[in-house]
Amino acid sequence: SQKIEQNSEALNIQEGKTATLTCNYTNYSPAYLQWYRQDPGRGPVFLLLIRENEKEKRKERLKVTFDTTLKQSLFHITASQPADSATYLCALTASGGSYIPTFGRGTSLIVHP
């Protein structure tokens, strides 16, 4: 069956360090993968999209990589700040079908000052 896995354990890092979050998937033929940020009690907010034929995407302090051989995406936040503390969700859209994003359960990031 199709699965999207994100580390359920919170990631704790010090301010200024690079945070790296992982999204693994199985039994998907992906068209693209999205990363969203979700704060408590709020809706997810779109951050970045990377297509299956792209290796890397950057936006300001954010970088996403996509390895379709390893079936994995890595999400990096450089020079992290306490304001980056949130839950980060990856969402995979399979090629063909209805192109509806399927979300992982998210990883909580806590940046300590």
Partner 1 sequence: DSGVTQTPKHLITATGQRVTLRCSPRSGDLSVYWYQQSLDQGLQFLIQYYNGEERAKGNILERFSAQQFPDLHSELNLSSLELGDSALYFCASSPQGSTNEKLFFGSGTQLSVL
Q: Which residues lie near partner 1 (CB under 8 A)?
A: 32, 34, 41-46, 49, 89, 93, 98-106
Q: CB of 57: closest distance to partner 1 in angstroms?
A: 13
> 20-55 burial string, b = 16+ CB within 10 Å, else e?
ebebbbeebebebbbbbbbeeeeebeebbebebeee
Closer to partner 1 by CB, 50 or 77: give it: 50
**Residue 81 structure tokens:** 């700040």
Q: CB of 65: closest distance to partner 1 in angstroms?
A: 18
Closer to partner 1 by CB, 43 or 113: give it: 43
